[in-house]
Amino acid sequence: MYFKIHPNCNMMKLIEAMDIVYRLANKETDVVFGTSCDENISENYVKVTVFLSYLPKLANANNYIE
């Protein structure tokens, strides 16, 4: 999972997003996170790239951060 953020982005929001992924992922899943900063994007914008090789049906797929 790769996040592209503004340098002034609230890191607590990224931590919340990572926590959701960890809770929903299979215990055997290897989750790797990466982050880079881009001053040309809005402070309220986060670009997320996710690479999956297998993801079972999620019990509650309606989790998101506002």
pLDDT tens-digit profile, the chain (66 residues): 888 999 998 888 888 888 888 888 877 778 888 999 999 999 888 888 888 766 566 666 665 555
Global confidence as pTM? 0.62
Q: Is 16 helix (H, G, I), strand (E, B) or coil?
A: helix
Q: Is 20 helix (H, G, I), strand (E, B) or coil?
A: helix
Query: Tokens for 53?
Result: 């090789």
Distance of alpha carbon 59 from alpha carbon 39, whole angstroms: 37
Distance of alpha carbon 22 from alpha carbon 39, whole angstroms: 28
Distance of alpha carbon 27 from alpha carbon 41, whole angstroms: 34
Q: Which runs of consecutive H residues, i.e. helices, occur in 1-66?
A: 11-24
